[in-house]
Amino acid sequence: MRKLLNVLFVTQPDVKVNLETDNVYVKKDDKVLLSVPLLNLEQIILFNYFGATPQLLGECVKRKISVSFLSEYGKYYGTFYGESSGNVLLRREQYRIADDSRALDFAKNFIFGKLHNQKCVIERGIRDYSLRIDTELLKKQSQFIKEQLKQVFSIENKENSRAVEGNAAHYYFSAFDELILQNKDFFTFKTRNRRPPTDAVNAMLSFAYTLLAIDCRHALEVVGLDSYVGFLHADRPGRASLALDLMEELRPHFADRFVLSLINRNEVTKSDFETQSSGAVYLSSASRKKFLSSWQNRKKEEIIHPFLKEKVEWGLVPYCQALLLARTIRGDLDGYPPFLWK
């Protein structure tokens, strides 16, 4: 099993990142703020203006360390991987599947995993907080999603798949505000909005989805797949469609429950956010560091993978799913097993 290494997040915008004697140095005005051995890293994620030096990028290519670039507020710009890895025959089969009817079978499994996990998030809220929430509302929304689940494998085309997914998302996010238990005068959720997010809950969801998408892209590249050619999401220049496919089933437990836990444990408060004149709401610079630290700690928690029946860290789940996806494309598995958590 792949070892979960560390991710270096550089959140200060006005720092320089370079390589010296196999160590990554983060400097501001020639003052060293941080030094990390490159040997311990599998990803570098930069929120800074200056990026990374060519020497560091070159060494990352050799060691298969991905370097991702985001804006100060978490808008994703791109990821540097260097030379593509993996078997060209695997990718050729991926492209063939994407162009024929088999793509729909993969799309159904991604959607089934997403809806199953959305339902479980709601039912876990009922189980854990029955005295503090409107359980009748949540049971009703859970039942709606269950009905959509029954329709997944009768989907005949991608238009139907989007309808089923969209209906389930409506029921799921209609129940989401009920799962927020602390500081509800500030942390209120009415509907999913983005580009830009206009409230604190959506700001955290968008940031978590960005981080999850990066992890999924990295996992797909590691196992030799092309993250830009998907089965559920349509091809679009600059969009990593297969990474978006893979992250669908992981959103509820990886991102949504993570955001809920930060709110319900009072780990984030109103002071952690800033509102721009446009109405956009973002985590402040200091709060992003806190968010990222909690994200990394969550990834270190161990679970028993529901399909592999092996103990893995949460952070390795995207890699496990990417590996199962590659095995299915090769024909080693009869069908892709989505990540179904309880």
- Kindly report, residue by residue over 50-100, the tens digit of the pLDDT: 888 999 999 988 888 878 887 765 566 777 776 665 678 889 999 999 999
Domain CATH for 266 = 1.20.120.920
Looking at residues 2-23, what average pLDDT do you find? 78
Q: How far apart are CA 228 and CA 252, in angstroms?
A: 22
pLDDT digits (tens, 9 = 90+) for 181-233: 888 888 888 888 878 888 899 999 999 998 999 889 888 887 788 889 999 88
Q: Is there a single domain that holds both residue 172 and residue 55?
A: no
What pLDDT, on a 0 to 100 scale, did the predictor assign at position 250?
A: 95
Q: Which residue has the higher pLDDT, 86 or 319?
A: 319
Q: DSSP per residue over 79-112, as a string?
A: EE--SPPS-HHHHHHHHHHHTSTHHHHHHHHHHH
Looking at residues 23-49, what average pLDDT do you find? 85
Average pLDDT, the chain: 85
- Chain position carrying tokens 């196992």: 223
Give a yes or no: residue 122 inside a domain. yes
For residue 313, give the 3-state DSSP assignment.
strand
Give a yes or no: residue 341 inside a domain. no
Report residue 24's pLDDT band, with 50, 70 and 90 as the boundaries: very high
- Kindly calculate the radius of gyration of the chain based on its CA atoms and give it in whole angstroms: 20
Residue 1 has pLDDT above 50, yes or no: no
Give a yes or no: residue 337 inside a domain. no
- CA distances for 146 relative to 141, 192, 246, 270, 271, angstroms: 9, 21, 21, 35, 38
Q: Is there a single domain that holds both residue 123 and residue 234?
A: yes
Q: How far apart are CA 66 and CA 222, in angstroms?
A: 10
Q: How far apart are CA 221 and CA 229, in angstroms?
A: 12
Angle at 258 between CA 47 and CA 39, to 5 degrees: 50
Give a yes or no: residue 95 inside a domain. yes
Q: Is there a single domain that holds both residue 197 and residue 95?
A: yes
pLDDT digits (tens, 9 = 90+) for 115-174: 999 999 998 888 888 778 788 888 988 899 888 888 888 888 877 777 888 888 888 888
**End-to-end C-alpha distance for the chain, whole angstroms:** 23
Q: How far apart are CA 327 and CA 321, in angstroms?
A: 10
Q: Which residue has the higher pLDDT, 148 or 110?
A: 110
Q: Is there a single domain that holds both residue 50 and residue 159?
A: no
What pLDDT, on a 0 to 100 scale, did the predictor assign at position 86?
A: 61
Residue 249 has pLDDT above 90, yes or no: yes
Smallest CA-to-CA distance from 313 within 322, 326, 304, 321 is with: 304
Report residue 310's pLDDT band, with 50, 70 and 90 as the boundaries: confident
Last residue of a domain, one of 80, 101, 120: 80
Q: Is there a single domain that holds both residue 164 and residue 297?
A: yes
Domain CATH for 37 = 3.100.10.20
Q: Which structural domain, as residue segments, surrounds residue 65? A: 6-80
DSSP secondary structure letter of residue 255: I
Q: Is there a single domain that holds both residue 294 and residue 184?
A: yes
Q: Is there a single domain that holds both residue 72 and residue 109?
A: no
Give a yes or no: residue 336 inside a domain. no
Looking at residues 5-26, what average pLDDT do you find? 83
Give a yes or no: residue 339 inside a domain. no
Q: Is there a single domain that holds both residue 119 and residue 74?
A: no
The domain tally of the chain equals 2
